[in-house]
Amino acid sequence: MRENLPRPAAAAAPVAAGVVRPSAPHKRRNPLAFLGRFEPRFVADIISELRKVTWPTLAETRYLTIVVAIVATAVGLFLGGIDLAFGWVVQRLFF
């Protein structure tokens, strides 16, 4: 309730009289301090999610790697064939 009460007027320091008001040393705040409270929870969340992962076996990894290599080669050959065909058509029509 005290925040609703009016504040007393601050008395101005008489600078002309040479009286200097003592000032408290400024405490520097860390601009990244808010990250400290997120880090442990963030790391704990990552670890808990990684424990839920079903990792593939070596045989599954090898099989899927071979499948990806075969599909990538087939798509590359298909697109290369289409490129050669269009190049041949353009060369016959315009040159």
pLDDT in tens, 31-79: 666 656 666 777 778 888 888 989 899 999 999 999 999 999 999 999 9
Residue 68 is part of which domain span?
A: 57-95
Report yes or no on 64 lying in a domain: yes
Amino acid symbol at 56 = P
The answer to whether 38 and 31 are in contact (CB under 8 A) is no
Residue where the block lists tokens 């190049």: 87
Residue 88, CA atoms < 13 Å, CB-side half-sphere: 6
Q: Is the pLDDT of residue 13 over 60?
A: no
Structure confidence at residue 57 (pLDDT): 96
Report angle CA 87, 88, 93 to the nearest 5 degrees: 100
Report yes or no on 63 lying in a domain: yes
Report yes or no on 83 lying in a domain: yes
DSSP classification of residue 3:
G
User: Lowest mean pLDDT: which of 4-8, 15-19, 43-47, 71-75?
Assistant: 15-19
Q: What is the pTM of this model?
A: 0.48
Residue where the block lists tokens 């408290």: 24
Report yes or no on 90 lying in a domain: yes
Q: What total of structural domains would you count in the chain?
A: 1
* Average pLDDT rounded to a whole number, residues 5-15: 61
